[in-house]
Each structure stands twice: as C-alpha cells, then as structure tokens.
Amino acid sequence: MRRAEHRIVLPRIDDLQEMNVMLAERLEEWAHAYKAEGKAEGKAEGKTEGEALALQKLLRKRFGAVPADVLAKIAGASLEQLDTWLDQVLDARSLDDLFGPTTH
C-alpha cells in the first residue's frame, strides 16, 4: 500500500532514457540516505548497550548480585537515564538509592 508521505511528484519527462536516468539518481540518493540512517541508529544502539553493560558491571562490583528487576530497568532505559545512573553509581549507598525499592 502506498502511504501519502511516500508519494513523490515526478517532473514531466519526454523520453524513457531521461526517466531511467532520473530514477537511477533518485534510487542512489535513497540508498545513501538509508545507509546513513542505519549507521546512526546502529551507533546509538551500540552506545546504549555499552553503557548498560558498564553500569551492570559497576553495580556487581559495588553491590554484588544485581536483581532481575534492576536488570530489566537497565535493559529498558534510555541513554540519558543510563548516563544519570552511571553518574550516581559511585555515590549511591544501595541499589535502592539508584532504582527505588527493588526485590533482593
């Protein structure tokens, strides 16, 4: 199904060769845009995953075993939230200081 946001307005074309060149150029533009978008998403996901793993390691070193509910919070957290927890982990006296009441 075509979506309204994916519609393009094609210019008037007098021959098929002109249409072929125009479509080839357009497809190349789309491919580059798609590739750049994928790289940016991959970098963001990688950074989030790396920070989550670093936080888990610090928590284990500092507090011992990390409960499943805390691991679930970490797995669902945004990059901004992970940064906040990483900034606070060394000053926290307990997991509850960082994450609120947890099941131990």
Interval 50-75: pLDDT, tens: 999 999 999 999 999 999 999 999 99
What Rg value do the Cα atoms of the chain yield, rounded? Answer: 24
pLDDT over 80 at 79, yes or no: yes
Q: How far does Cα 4 stand from its chain's mean position?
A: 27
Give the residue extent of every domain in the chain.
15-99
* pLDDT tens digits along 3-50: 666 666 666 777 777 777 777 888 888 787 878 777 777 787 888 999
pTM greater than 0.75? no
